[in-house]
């Protein structure tokens, strides 16, 4: 999964986009210790109160504003998508 997958491709794409602007992209949530911890959690911990990604949402309580922490929509993953299409 970590060798040839959507996860790796997405990180490669974002690294390329970030390099155009002189920024180093990293995916801290792909740290092996974090992945091992998340995979050890029971499935019930991932969905609660109508929200997914519960371990992360719970960890951000008091850190992120509630409007952001509990939002259900996603932002555009590539802010320069229109430039790429041109």
Angle 42-70-63 (CA atoms, 0-180°, nearest 5)?
90
Show the tokens assigned to 75: 């932002």
Burial class (CB in 10 A: 0-12, 13-18, 19+), 3: exposed
Residue spans of the domains in the chain: they are 1-31, 41-73
Q: What whole-number distance in Å separates Cα of residue 5 and Cα of residue 11?
A: 10
pTM: 0.47
> pLDDT-derived band of residue 11, with 50, 70 and 90 as boundaries?
confident
What tens digit of pLDDT does each residue of 22-51 get? 998 888 877 888 888 888 988 888 877 777
Nearest residue to 69 (alpha-carbon basis) of 78, 82, 60 = 60
């Amino acid at each position: 999964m970590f060798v040839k997958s959507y996860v790796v491709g997405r990180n490669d794409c974002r690294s390329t986009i970030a390099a155009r602007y002189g920024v180093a992209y990293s995916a801290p949530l792909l740290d092996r210790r974090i992945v091992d911890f998340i995979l050890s959690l029971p499935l019930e911990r991932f969905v609660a109160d109508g929200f997914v990604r519960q371990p992360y949402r719970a960890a951000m309580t008091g850190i992120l504003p509630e409007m952001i922490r509990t939002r259900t929509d996603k932002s555009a993953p590539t802010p320069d998508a229109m430039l790429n299409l041109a």
